[in-house]
A and B are shown apart, each in its own frame.
Chain A
């Protein structure tokens, strides 16, 4: 629970670093190359957001790396040989790179040459993406563990590395990496688009923010459809490698031909908490679930959840998956709409589009988190698929009181962090409005970004 919560918050900030990196590099490069004030503004604004996000990422990431030890000592001991290496590489290859060159990026504009400055932005971004790589090496191994054998050591059965290439480059890794990095870019692009749309709305001819909005739309046009096409293939891979998770995603209980539920509407509270085909009002494509899982065979057998003694919380996985996919298609729609306006050169004039983008700005993150829940909760009861169960991985010496107390402390602390981050964004936006010369930021009826409005 505690780990689930800390990782939920951490992933928000980690994805921010990953997704914002291309924007930062681009703005920095443009700024240094062309000495254009619009890019200087964009660079300064987003580097500030990046910096606060990175600090939050650091302080939330450190608890996580230590929670492997504090809360899951058995997991650390059993799979330390497999996960320790990649985690150590993450710190040494990626985290240092990002932290050191972010310092230069934030404080060193006057102290290093233009070339070094641009290079620093690139290295910061590379650090973020490399960090994601090694973390997903670990996570992909937990989904599809390879390259090890179980041996007895210190009276405990532990995983011993037998093939580093197989253990690091597991079947899941390429799927996960593309999907996760792209998801991060989409999430951040939506945030950038939302904030830019807000500024454009306040000042239609703002050169800087029109540029940022256009860039975000173009990026969304590439990434959103890619995510859908790639995600479809990814689903097939999950069906091949983690049958139980796939069954949970589709709430498929009886082994046999599987239907695909295109749209599912719960008909009662029961259906909400325990989704099954017979209590959902669904628009389903018969047998298409089999078709997707097998890559072309309508009658392929899909293993049902009744085959297992111990299943993940199906409702959570089922609805999370639906929400994620639904949002994914919404993003494609927004991208196409924006692309069409872009073609007509009418983005800044279409108030309804600007409003839609503002409303959509947090949704990328919602999709990212639900996707993460599908991955992690869908793997339950296993922490390492078919090797170690979560219930066996936790600390034996941890008392319920300690666990509860620290969980409450983390929840409160992180809510405070998120609130603080919301405020910081709000202040940054307010001061940017002032710089833009938009008067009276507190005027009544002022439009608000959805995730800052409730902080007031």
Chain B
């Protein structure tokens, strides 16, 4: 049976469509972690800079952050469209953390915008503080939330907090590598230093996290760690991390930036491996139990997936437009 749009009503376009959408959800999350993570990193590194460098950082951040943040909305709405019960449980069962995250995002987004509106030292100081605070607290809480989702634990447990710390370090790496690629001289050198340290911290945090998980074995995650996909994600993380440090030291900043994106994808890949085929371990819900009906998912596929490709093209266009070095006066012409 098909409906007027020639979309099958009672079977999925392909049998594995629910799993495909699990993949799409994870992809939007990975894009968010990679791109907005870099913005958080810029926000945290902002604290280490003097007035002149701060202008440079904001100039690099300005044209892209809002578009990057939209990936979070894409993640949330995709999750809602494909797996409504997961969306509602994830958010309502982690109520305070979820609310704190959106407030952190709010502060992070508004502070630099307001800073630029007024030439007043005290005013700018306050905005700067809020910007750094929002940029640090949001990834910490977001990581904690994702950790407790994956491991099916309460919000503030060791594995989830370690996930939060790992995400913060990852964001610093992303921000540092982006800034190193966009600037030169002492700023780029110092970014290399910060980025190398944060990569180290990240890898250590992940190793400790995995050790804790394999001992405590929440949501059966420990036993999954030895399977091939999990090992691949872990090996890829180490390879991207080590490769990134090497590239950074050799001054190949664009390559370094690429590896930091790779690190984000490897991390979310690990999240996906640990979850699949369940999608909400706290209630033991599997993908098949929470996915929407065939018709709804087919419609979302037909209307949504092509658009997602278009969106990727927008980003290529955006980053191309603002390619090249940046300084305190913005992107030169």
Interface residues of A (CB under 8 A from B): 51-52, 54-56, 58-63, 65-66, 68-74, 76-77, 80-85, 87-93, 95-97, 99-104, 106-108, 110-112, 154, 158, 160-165, 395, 397-398, 402, 406, 409-410, 413, 417, 420, 423-424, 427-428
Q: Does A69 contact B92, Cβ atoms closer than 8 Å? A: yes
Q: A58-B109, A84-B80, A111-B321 are in contact. List 15 more A-B contacts (CB 8 A).
A: A54-B66, A69-B88, A73-B91, A76-B80, A84-B300, A90-B77, A91-B74, A95-B73, A99-B70, A100-B315, A106-B62, A164-B5, A164-B299, A398-B92, A413-B106
Q: What distance in Å separates the Cβ of A130 from its nearest Cβ neighbour in chain B?
A: 11
Report chain B residues within 8 Å CB of A88: 74, 77-78, 80-81, 300, 304
Of B94-102, B181-189, B271-279, the one contacting chain A is B94-102
Given contacts A58-B109, A92-B307, contact A164 B92 (CB under 8 A): no
Q: What distance in Å separates the Cβ of A54 from its nearest Cβ neighbour in chain B?
A: 7
Q: Does A397 contact B93, Cβ atoms closer than 8 Å? A: yes
Report chain A residues within 8 Å CB of B118: 427
Residue of A nearest to B102 (CB): A63
Q: Does B4 contact A103, Cβ atoms closer than 8 Å? A: no
Cα-based distance from A92 to B77 in the complex (angstroms) = 9
Given contacts A54-B66, A96-B70, A107-B330, contact A63 B106 (CB under 8 A): yes
Q: What distance in Å separates the Cβ of A258 from its nearest Cβ neighbour in chain B?
A: 39
Q: What distance in Å separates the Cβ of B174 from its nearest Cβ neighbour in chain A?
A: 18
In this complex, the member of B73, B82, B103, B321 whose beta carbon has the largest number of chain A beta carbons within 10 angstroms is: B73
Is B227 located at the chain interface by the 8 A CB criterion? no
Is B16 located at the chain interface by the 8 A CB criterion? no
Report chain B residues within 8 Å CB of A397: 92-93, 95
Q: What distance in Å separates the Cβ of B265 from its nearest Cβ neighbour in chain A?
A: 19
Q: Does B295 contact A87, Cβ atoms closer than 8 Å? A: no
Is B258 located at the chain interface by the 8 A CB criterion? no
Report chain B residues within 8 Å CB of A423: 117
In this complex, the member of B9, B64, B67, B96 whose beta carbon has the largest number of chain A beta carbons within 10 angstroms is: B67
Residue of B nearest to A62 (CB): B102
Report chain B residues within 8 Å CB of A410: 103
Cα-based distance from A406 to B292 in the complex (angstroms) = 31
Q: What distance in Å separates the Cβ of B299 from its nearest Cβ neighbour in chain A?
A: 5
Cα-based distance from A6 to B93 in the complex (angstroms) = 21
Report chain B residues within 8 Å CB of A108: 63, 321-322
Q: Does A97 contact B92, Cβ atoms closer than 8 Å? A: no
Contact of B80 among A70, A87, A398, A402 (CB under 8 A): A87
Is B201 located at the chain interface by the 8 A CB criterion? no
Residue of B nearest to A424 (CB): B117
Task: Please tell me the size bucket of the interface on B.
Answer: 35 or more
Q: Does A85 contact B85, Cβ atoms closer than 8 Å? A: no
Report chain A residues within 8 Å CB of B67: 96, 99-100, 103
Q: Does A69 contact B314, Cβ atoms closer than 8 Å? A: no
Q: What distance in Å separates the Cβ of B149 from its nearest Cβ neighbour in chain A?
A: 12
What are 30 sample pairs from A and B whose C-beta atoms fall under 8 A apart? A52-B113, A62-B69, A62-B73, A62-B102, A63-B99, A71-B92, A80-B88, A80-B292, A85-B300, A88-B74, A88-B78, A88-B81, A88-B304, A91-B70, A91-B73, A92-B74, A92-B77, A99-B66, A100-B314, A100-B318, A104-B318, A106-B63, A161-B292, A164-B3, A164-B295, A165-B5, A395-B92, A397-B95, A409-B99, A413-B103
In this complex, the member of A52, A54, A80, A158 whose beta carbon has the largest number of chain B beta carbons within 10 angstroms is: A80
Report chain A residues within 8 Å CB of B96: 402, 406
Q: Does B91 contact A111, Cβ atoms closer than 8 Å? A: no
Report chain B residues within 8 Å CB of A99: 66-67, 69-70
Residue of A nearest to B9 (CB): A162
Report chain A residues within 8 Å CB of B311: 92, 96
Report chain B residues within 8 Å CB of A90: 77
Residue of A nearest to B96 (CB): A402
Interface residues of B (CB under 8 A from A): 3-5, 7, 9, 62-64, 66-67, 69-70, 72-74, 76-78, 80-82, 84-85, 87-93, 95-96, 98-99, 102-103, 105-106, 109-110, 113-114, 117-118, 289-290, 292-293, 295-296, 299-300, 303-304, 307-308, 311, 314-315, 317-318, 321-322, 330-331, 333
Q: Does B92 contact A161, Cβ atoms closer than 8 Å? A: no
Q: Does A80 contact B81, Cβ atoms closer than 8 Å? A: yes
Cα-based distance from A83 to B88 in the complex (angstroms) = 13
Given contacts A87-B80, A427-B118, contact A112 B321 (CB under 8 A): yes
The 5 closest A-B pairs by CB, nearest first: A80-B84, A69-B91, A84-B81, A73-B88, A110-B333
Report chain B residues within 8 Å CB of A62: 69, 72-73, 102, 105-106
Q: Does B81 contact A59, Cβ atoms closer than 8 Å? A: no
Q: Does A96 contact B92, Cβ atoms closer than 8 Å? A: no
Q: Does B110 contact A84, Cβ atoms closer than 8 Å? A: no
Q: Does B95 contact A74, Cβ atoms closer than 8 Å? A: no
Cα-based distance from A103 to B317 in the complex (angstroms) = 11
Cα-based distance from A320 to B304 in the complex (angstroms) = 38
Report chain B residues within 8 Å CB of A83: 80
Residue of B nearest to A409 (CB): B103
Cα-based distance from A82 to B87 in the complex (angstroms) = 14
